[in-house]
């Protein structure tokens, strides 16, 4: 078995109109910039995919990565906790113009909904958001004298995730706080596509250090020196580069 | 009228953090609390995006953007740092494993209700981890000016802004006083010596109760 994909274009080839796509990262850390840009390349060449529902903690920063995906008009709905950043103009403009729908989810609830989606748990109860606007319409139940809000699992057709090392079976390690949502999204997606800085043979990763076991990963592609969103933004980069 | 600066409020809140406490500091103003740990005490700081025991900001130019805090600012690792994914991070939050969370506030009600995430329906709403952080930590403390920029009380009977959490705040450190939330009422613990109780009450939107001694709120020049 070998889950290696030939290139970035092949990695995103199966994403179709209307799909739900989880994109890893917290701000720029862990953002799979190259996979997202490959998806934009496909859209520019073919007009697809569009009308995507994207799950990410944020809503992009500047004009690269997720922000560029939104700027192309490929995203119909965003499920996130914090749609602000140093430069949130792309999302803000689209949202205020009514071009993109927002489902705002508390960050811990977002993480747990994704985890639940990957773990086969359709719903769970959390104290988070009880008595607030974000709990409106959700079932509430009392446990040990305290009120909890019912939240539902979140699943996806695809996850696009950045890891550090990965073997051809899909076992992954991450780099520092770039781990964030990656392991959860790999679990919750029917097809998890991972870009790794180093693609290695099975046996090269100490089994004790595997963070995401390969069962949660369907495709892996090497991007040897991945871009950091923060560095791109400090250089005022845009994607595609000739975008006005 | 003299009042504490933001730095001094942060200093005062830091004095109540025990050695070895696991602490989450909200982004922005609360992050300053980390600077004022009393000598001999070491708290372990948690950040939502998956780090326990991170160190100070690195020098400009030596940032590693895979090593950031919840405010997206670069931090460093130090002996004892641990990384984990987001579900584990919020298990630490909701599961009662944090000793203290220190947050900012727009309003705090005498019932312990907190409003700190939204000023109303205008613009783009954003919540981040605020609604999670107010549940689970053994102490949920707020640091804030005692009144708004327009002089309106921030300690109130009932919050008027959208709530972050119900009955969650246990202590408030303000620019004028230290107030506990206890059994649905504000109990005054410390106030600036130059300020009379009546003056403080007039700047507070709910009744301040006295239960035992009220100490002078004393903070060094910082």
Tell me how far apart the alpha carbons of residues B24 and A128 are, in angstroms, rounded to a whole number: 16
List chain A residues with CB under 8 Å of B118. 133
List chain B residues with CB under 8 Å of A22. none
Nearest to A132 among B47, B136, B163 (CB): B163
Q: Within a 10 A sphere around the Cβ of B103, how many other Cβ atoms?
A: 28
Residue B18's SS3 state is coil
Burial class of residue A124, CB neighbours in 10 A (0-12, 13-18, 19+) = middle
Catalytic site residue from B31, B48, B110, B190: B48
pTM of the shown model: 0.97
Q: Which of A237, A208, A201, A178 is nearest to A37 (CA)?
A: A237
Q: Give the per-residue pLDDT at B188.
A: 98
Q: Which of A67, A41, A83, A64 is nearest to A229 (CA)?
A: A64
- Asked if A181 and A66 count as a contact pair (C-beta separation under 8 A), the reply is no
**C-alpha atoms less than 13 angstroms from C-alpha of A239 in its C-beta half-sphere:** 26
Please state, in angstroms and as integers, the Cα–Cα distance from residue B31 to each residue in A96, B101, B102, following that order.
31, 11, 9
Angle between helices A107-119 and B86-94 (to 10 degrees): 120
Mean pLDDT of all residues in A1-19? 97
Q: Give the per-residue pLDDT at B103.
A: 96
Q: Are strands B44-47 and A189-200 parallel, antiparallel or unpaired?
A: unpaired
Q: Which of B15, B22, B21 is nearest to B51 (CA)?
A: B22
Q: Where are the alpha helices (DSSP H) in chain A?
A: 8-11, 33-46, 66-71, 89-96, 107-119, 182-188, 229-234
Tell me how far apart the alpha carbons of residues A128 and B131 are, in angstroms, rounded to a whole number: 6
Q: Give the per-residue pLDDT at A174.
A: 98
Q: What does the DSSP assignment read for B47-75?
A: ETTTEES-BPPPPTT---TTSB-TTS-B-
In tens digits, chain B (222 residues) has pLDDT values of 689 999 999 999 999 999 999 999 998 899 999 999 999 999 999 999 999 999 999 999 999 999 999 999 999 999 999 999 999 999 999 999 999 999 999 999 999 999 999 998 888 999 999 999 999 899 999 999 999 999 999 999 999 999 999 999 999 999 999 999 999 999 999 999 999 999 999 999 999 999 999 999 999 998
- Asked if B141 and B134 count as a contact pair (C-beta separation under 8 A), the reply is no
Reading the block at residue B133, the tokens are 């952080």
* Dihedral sign of CA atoms B22, B81, B64, A224 in order: negative
Active site residue B48: yes
Q: Which residues contact A120 (CB under 8 A, 6 or more apart)?
A: none
Q: Give the per-residue pLDDT at B25.
A: 95
pLDDT tens digit string along A121-162? 999 999 999 999 999 999 999 999 999 999 999 999 999 999
Inter-chain touch A81–B126, beta carbons under 8 Å: yes
| Domains defined for chain B, CATH in brackets | 6-216 (3.40.1080.10)
- Inter-chain Cβ pairs, chain A and chain B, closer than 8 A: 144
State which residue of chain A sits closest to B72, comparing Cα positions. A27
- Asked if B172 and B108 count as a contact pair (C-beta separation under 8 A), the reply is yes
- Say which CATH superfamily domain A8-122+154-227 falls into: Glutaconate Coenzyme A-transferase (3.40.1080.10)
Mutate to test the interface with A, among B123, B126, B159, B163 (most CBs of A within 10 A): B126
Chain A interface includes B93 (CB < 8 A): yes
The ipTM assigned to this model is 0.96
State which residue of chain B sits closest to A30, comparing Cα positions. B66
pLDDT tens digit string along A54-85? 999 999 999 999 999 999 999 999 999 999 99
Chain A interface includes B60 (CB < 8 A): no
Residue A244 has pLDDT above 70, yes or no: no
Tell me how far apart the alpha carbons of residues A155 and B183 are, in angstroms, rounded to a whole number: 41
pLDDT tens digit string along A165-187? 999 999 999 999 999 999 999 99
Tell me how far apart the alpha carbons of residues A165 and A169 are, in angstroms, rounded to a whole number: 12
Chain A interface includes B61 (CB < 8 A): no
Q: Give the per-residue pLDDT at B128.
A: 95
User: In chain B, which among 20-39 make CB contacts under 8 A with chain A?
Assistant: none
Q: What angle do CA B17, B19, B25 make, to 5 degrees?
A: 40
Inter-chain touch B93–A108, beta carbons under 8 Å: yes
Inter-chain touch A82–B163, beta carbons under 8 Å: no
The residue written with tokens 């994109």 in the block is A23
């Amino acid at each position: 078995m070998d889950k290696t994909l030939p290139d970035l274009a092949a990695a995103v080839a199966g994403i179709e109109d209307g799909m739900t796509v989880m994109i890893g990262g917290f701000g720029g850390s862990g953002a799979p910039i190259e996979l997202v840009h490959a998806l934009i390349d496909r859209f520019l060449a073919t007009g697809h995919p569009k009308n995507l529902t994207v799950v990410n903690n944020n809503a992009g920063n500047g004009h690269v990565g997720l922000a560029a995906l939104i700027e192309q008009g490929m995203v119909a709905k965003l499920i996130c906790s914090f749609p602000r950043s140093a430069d949130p103009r792309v999302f803000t403009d689209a949202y205020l113009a009514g071009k993109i729908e927002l489902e705002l989810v508390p960050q811990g609830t977002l993480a747990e909904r994704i985890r639940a989606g990957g773990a086969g748990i359709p719903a769970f109860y959390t104290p988070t958001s009880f008595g607030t606007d974000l709990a409106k319409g959700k079932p509430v139940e009392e446990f040990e004298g305290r009120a909890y809000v019912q939240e539902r699992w979140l699943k996806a057709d695809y996850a696009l995730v950045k890891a550090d090392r990965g073997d051809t079976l899909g076992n992954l390690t991450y780099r520092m706080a770039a781990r964030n949502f990656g392991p959860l999204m790999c679990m919750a997606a029917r097809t998890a596509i991972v870009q790794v800085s180093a693609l290695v043979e099975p046996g090269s990763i100490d089994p004790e250090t595997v963070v995401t076991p390969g069962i949660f990963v369907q495709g892996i592609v090497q991007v040897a020196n991945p871009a950091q969103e923060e560095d791109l933004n400090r250089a005022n980069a845009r994607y595609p580069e000739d975008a006005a | 009228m003299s009042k504490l600066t933001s730095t001094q409020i942060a200093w005062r809140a830091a004095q109540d953090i025990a050695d070895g406490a696991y602490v989450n500091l909200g982004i922005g103003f609360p992050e300053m609390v980390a600077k004022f740990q009393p000598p001999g005490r070491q708290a372990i700081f948690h950040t939502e995006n998956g780090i326990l025991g991170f160190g100070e900001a690195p020098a400009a130019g030596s940032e590693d953007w895979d090593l950031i805090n919840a405010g997206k600012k670069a931090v460093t690792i130090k002996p004892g740092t641990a990384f984990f994914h987001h579900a584990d991070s919020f298990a630490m939050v909701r599961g009662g494993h944090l000793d203290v969370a220190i947050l900012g506030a727009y309003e705090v009600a005498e019932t312990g209700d907190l409003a700190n995430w939204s000023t109303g329906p205008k613009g783009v709403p954003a919540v981040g981890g605020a609604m999670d952080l107010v549940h689970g930590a053994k102490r949920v403390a707020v640091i804030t000016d005692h009144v708004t920029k327009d002089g309106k009380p921030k300690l109130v009977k009932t919050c008027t802004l959208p709530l972050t959490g119900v009955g969650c705040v246990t202590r408030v450190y303000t620019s004028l006083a230290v107030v506990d939330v206890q059994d649905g009422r504000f109990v005054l613990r410390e106030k600036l010596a130059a300020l009379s109780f009546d003056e403080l009450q007039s700047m507070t939107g709910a009744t301040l109760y006295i239960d035992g001694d009220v100490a002078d709120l004393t903070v060094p020049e910082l």
